[in-house]
Amino acid sequence: MTTTTRLPADPVLPAARHYSLRLHLLARSVLMMLTSMAGVALFVLWVTLVAVSPITLLAPLVIPATALVRGYADAHRRAAGRLLGAPVEADHRTPDRPGLFRRVWTIESDPASWRDALWLPVHAVVAFATATLAVALFIGSVFYLIYPFLYWVTPQDVFGRPFGGWLEFHSVADSTVVMPLALVCFGLWFWLQLPLTRAELNVTRALLGER
């Protein structure tokens, strides 16, 4: 008798205690921030083609559009599976009979196709928000760390009033007062990078996994 060994849930992210993995997740956040909104474009394209397919000759275009959506979703399934430690499997239907319009109908009547479509805008928003926050905190830590240098190499009006004018610097020594914010931003990034990444991955697991 063959037994199946289930992988433990979330073995990778909770074990991420080293800077190297956090920096890897930060790089991933940069990628998510730059590419996540592609899901919105795919969602609009797919839903539009599905909506007009019964009344126009555009029905065959549902097939390549679905291939784009599933390819994009499958890439995120694989990434989520690697980081969460358990595969995120698709469960799409296959046509029971050959034929172009049978393939289109199978796609449009498949609940997994609609879950893929729902995932596109939901993931776009969640991924963009979580990734942008992580990247902003890390950049903020670098920004405040080098703030005195920026003040020194630029005109006084550029970085002399960092918080809307209620605080004004007149020397490089004055500008060092904001340097502790670098530690605050870095600490927040270090603490939040894992849960922010996990939140984005769990959206993929919840919507794109098998039912």
Compute the Cα dihedral for 128, 133, 134, 139 and give only its sign.
Answer: positive
Q: Is a pLDDT exceeding 80 seen at residue 209?
A: yes
Angle between the 111-145 and 180-208 helix axes, to the nearest 10 degrees?
170
Which pLDDT value is given to residue 1? 39
pLDDT band with cut points at 50, 70 and 90 for residue 150: very high
Which pLDDT value is given to residue 58? 80
Domain ranges in the chain are 18-208
> Whole-angstrom Cα distance, residue 152 to residue 163?
17
Which pLDDT value is given to residue 38? 95
List pLDDT tens digits, range 33-48. Answer: 999 999 999 999 999 9
How far apart, in Å, are the Cα atoms of 149 and each of 42, 139, 143, 177?
Answer: 44, 15, 10, 13
Of residues 85 and 140, more confidence is placed in 140
CA 185 to the chain's CA centroid = 21
Which pLDDT value is given to residue 18? 67
pTM of the model: 0.85
List pLDDT tens digits, range 67-79. Answer: 999 999 999 999 9
pLDDT band with cut points at 50, 70 and 90 for residue 118: very high
Q: Which residues contact 159 (CB under 8 A, 6 or more apart)?
A: 147, 150, 151, 169, 175
Amino acid at 195: P
